[in-house]
Amino acid sequence: MKTNALILVLLLMSAGVFAQTKLAEEFPAMMKARNADPEGWLRSHTTPDLTFIGGHDGSLQNKDWMMSLFKSQKSQNADLTNVNVQQAGDLAVATGISTIKAVSLDGSKTGTYKDAFTYTFRWIDSKWMITNIHHTKIEYK
């Protein structure tokens, strides 16, 4: 009986890993949601302890910093190219090139920020959540 219970527990544990979706298939919709509502996306697609390394100066920031950045902009749109997604178990990494076009709240300033990016994901509560973001500056205008 103990052997059967142990086998059942092991099967249930491994089923959790296989119940995941393929991030490569979800990633485009996830980024489309980011463009539609950056603040909502940040709340729903990132972990509370999110870390962000910015391309502008390489400083380590957190989720609150990113939220204040989004709130300081009228709009922000990210176009991603050369995307590559690798997934193993409950961890995944997405890399590529991000070109972000941002407009200040009053509309007086616009900027284009081209970065190489790395997003690290973890499967949490049946959802892919971003735990770390790293941007490396390519070109800023």
**Maximal C-alpha separation, the chain:** 72
> Which pLDDT score, from 0 to 100, does residue 56 have?
81
CATH fold group of domain 21-140: Nuclear Transport Factor 2; Chain: A, (3.10.450)
| Token pair in block for residue 64 | 């609150």
Give the residue extent of every domain in the chain.
Answer: 21-140
How many CA atoms are closer than 13 Å to the CA of 73, on its beta-carbon side? 19
| Helix, strand, or coil (residue 24) | helix
Is residue 2 very low, low, confident or very high in pLDDT (cuts 50, 70, 90)?
low
CA distance 13 to 101: 43
Q: Who's near 80: CB < 8 A, 6+ residues apart?
A: 31, 96, 97, 98, 99, 117
Please say whether the beta carbons of 26 and 33 come within 8 A: no
CA distance 112 to 128: 28
> Which pLDDT score, from 0 to 100, does residue 36 have?
93
pLDDT tens per residue across span 59-98:
999 999 999 999 999 888 999 999 999 999 999 999 999 9
Helix (H) or strand (E) holding 59: none
pLDDT at residue 6 tops 50: no
With tokens 């997405």, the residue in question is 94
> Which pLDDT score, from 0 to 100, does residue 55 have?
79
